[in-house]
Amino acid sequence: MGVLDGTTALITGGSRGIGRAICLRLAKYGAAIILHYHRNREAAEETAALIDGPVTLVQADLASAAEIEALFQSLAGRRLDLLINNAGVWKGSPVGSSPVELIDELLATNLKGPFLVTQAALPLLNDGARIVNISSVAGRTGVAGGRSLYGATKAAMDSLTRNWALELAPRRILVNAVAPGYITTDMTAAYLADPANLERALIRHPLGRLGTPEDIADVVAFLCSPDARFITGQSLNVSGGFVI
């Protein structure tokens, strides 16, 4: 018996990194998994193979409204209990030299996408469902490296979290966010391969290590569990003390 037995979870960006760990954790607790991916079908299949339970793979570029619409058409008739808005991109956007295409891509993938996904998911979500948004400490504090737009999209995710919690409370849908510090995934691999960047990142983590995808997945699973039944509108800082 798992605490999520009988539930169905849609995880965006479930193919790799934090999303993969979330899929595995929620499945371990009994949820049926709808695993969304973008380009990396092979990674999505690898994740699915690690899951002992029902898994459905769905594909979409979440920067595209048309692809989000098609994704939800393919889910017609399904019911959802858990929605994890995890997919995102981490790109530099130095103010003064960022092309409009890059600005559009960051806003579309990290902000417009989760908004449209959540909007499309609402008719499928059961009353009492849970939504967990993956934001970032970059939405709460300045981080060197010219990634202001990324930080802005993550601050926006925290704002969406607070406001959706109010909007969806009449349906008893709980909406929370998890804000990681540096987590070792494909997203940060190239950056952290530079010893100077790694040292800078470690200094920001008083607990003395960077985070793992499982550090985040465990907290997401908690927020999806009955134990978190009276928590809504919160963004939990899960960063080993990056921001205190």
Instruction: Choose one: 25-33, 36-44, 75-83, 223-231; the region binding ligand NAP (CB under 6 A).
Output: 36-44
Q: Is 18 in the site for ligand NAP (CB under 6 A)?
A: yes
Binding mask 70-89 for ligand NAP (x = CB under 6 A): ----------------xxxx
Contact assessment for residue 141 and residue 208, using Cβ atoms and an 8 Å cutoff: no
Q: Is 182 in the site for ligand NAP (CB under 6 A)?
A: yes
For ligand NAP, which is the closer residue by CB, 25 or 38? Answer: 38
Q: Measure the N-to-C terminal CA separation of the chain; round to a whole number of Å.
A: 37
**Least CB distance to ligand NAP at residue 214 (A):** 12
Instruction: Choose one: 31-39, 75-83, 124-132, 225-233; the region binding ligand NAP (CB under 6 A).
Output: 31-39
For ligand NAP, which is the closer residue by CB, 62 or 121? Answer: 62
Sheet containing 32-37: order of strands = 55-59, 32-37, 8-11, 80-85, 125-134, 174-180, 235-238
Q: What are phi and psi of 22, to 5 degrees?
A: -65, -45
Q: Is 187 in the site for ligand NAP (CB under 6 A)?
A: yes
Q: How many residues does the chain have?
A: 244
Residues noted as catalytic: 150
Read off the tokens for 93. Answer: 């956007």
Could you give the C-alpha distances from 23 to 63, 67, 166, 168, 183, in angstroms and in order?
Answer: 22, 22, 27, 24, 17
Binding site for ligand NAP (CB under 6 A): 13, 15-19, 37-40, 43, 61-63, 86-90, 109, 134, 136, 180, 182-183, 185-188
